[in-house]
C-alpha cells in the first residue's frame, strides 16, 4: 500500500489556514475544468449555424441540445464557487464556502462528463453513424466515470478502511 499523507496536525496550520488552503486548491482545480467546458460550450454554440445542422434528424438535434445544456450547466456550476467566494468575502464563512464549492465542483464535473460524452456521441453519430457512435459514447462514458469518480471513490474507501484499522495513521 502506498504511503498515506501526513496528518493535518503535522502541517502545523490552523483551521482557518486549512480552509484557505482547501479553497485555493479547489479554485485552482475548478479553473482548469472551467476553461475546458467554456471552450466546449463556445464550439457547441456555433453548431446550429452550420449548413448541415438544419438537415440533421430530430434525434441528433435533441442530442445536440442535451449536450449544449450539459455544457451550460457545467459552466454555471463551475463558476458558482468563485461567485460564492466573492459574495461571501470577509463574512467569516470560509468553511461553508469550501464545502459548497466542493459540492458545486463535483456536480460541475459530472456535467462536464455528460457534455463530453454527448459531444463525442453527437460527432461520432454525424461522422461515423449510429452503431459506431454507441460504442464511442459508451467508451467515453465509462472512461470519465472510472477516471473522475470510481477510481477516486475506490481509493477513498481504501483510505477510510485503513483509518478505521489504524487510527494513529488516519488523516483529516
CB-based contacts of 96-104 (< 8 A; 24+ apart in sequence): 97/23, 98/19, 98/22, 98/23, 98/26, 101/23, 101/26, 101/27, 101/30, 102/26, 104/77, 104/78, 104/80
In a domain, 81, yes or no: yes
pTM of the complete model: 0.83
Q: Are 171 and 4 in contact (CB under 8 A)?
A: yes
In a domain, 144, yes or no: no
pLDDT of 170: 53
In a domain, 149, yes or no: no
pLDDT tens digits along 102-144: 999 999 999 999 999 999 999 999 999 888 999 999 999 999 9
pLDDT of 129: 87
Q: Are 81 and 34 in contact (CB under 8 A)?
A: no
| Lookup: cell for 22 | 482547501
In a domain, 90, yes or no: yes
Domain count, the chain: 1
pLDDT higher than threshold 70 for residue 151: yes
Tell me the percentage of the chain whose pLDDT exceeds 70: 91
pLDDT higher than threshold 80 for residue 153: yes
Tell me the percentage of the chain whose pLDDT exceeds 90: 71
In a domain, 31, yes or no: yes
In a domain, 157, yes or no: no
Banded pLDDT at 1 (limits 50, 70, 90): very low
In a domain, 167, yes or no: no
In a domain, 26, yes or no: yes
| Lookup: cell for 81 | 464557487
Q: Domain limits at 108? A: 12-129
- Mean pLDDT of all residues in the chain? 90
Amino acid at each position: 500500500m502506498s504511503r498515506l499523507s501526513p496528518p493535518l496536525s503535522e502541517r502545523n496550520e490552523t483551521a482557518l489556514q486549512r480552509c484557505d488552503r482547501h479553497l485555493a486548491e479547489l479554485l485552482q482545480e475548478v479553473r482548469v475544468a472551467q476553461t475546458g467546458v467554456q471552450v466546449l460550450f463556445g464550439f457547441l454554440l456555433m453548431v446550429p449555424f452550420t449548413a448541415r445542422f438544419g438537415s440533421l434528424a430530430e434525434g441528433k438535434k435533441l442530442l445536440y441540445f442535451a449536450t449544449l445544456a450539459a455544457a451550460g450547466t457545467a459552466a454555471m456550476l463551475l463558476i458558482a464557487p468563485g461567485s460564492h467566494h466573492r459574495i461571501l468575502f470577509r463574512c467569516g464563512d470560509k468553511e461553508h464556502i469550501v464545502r459548497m464549492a466542493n459540492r458545486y465542483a463535483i456536480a460541475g464535473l459530472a456535467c462536464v462528463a455528460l457534455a463530453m460524452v454527448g459531444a463525442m456521441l453527437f460527432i461520432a453519430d454525424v461522422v461515423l453513424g449510429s452503431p459506431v457512435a454507441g460504442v464511442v459514447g459508451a467508451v467515453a462514458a465509462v472512461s470519465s466515470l472510472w477516471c473522475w469518480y470510481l477510481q477516486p471513490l475506490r481509493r477513498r474507501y481504501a483510505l477510510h478502511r485503513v483509518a478505521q484499522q489504524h487510527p494513529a495513521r488516519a488523516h483529516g
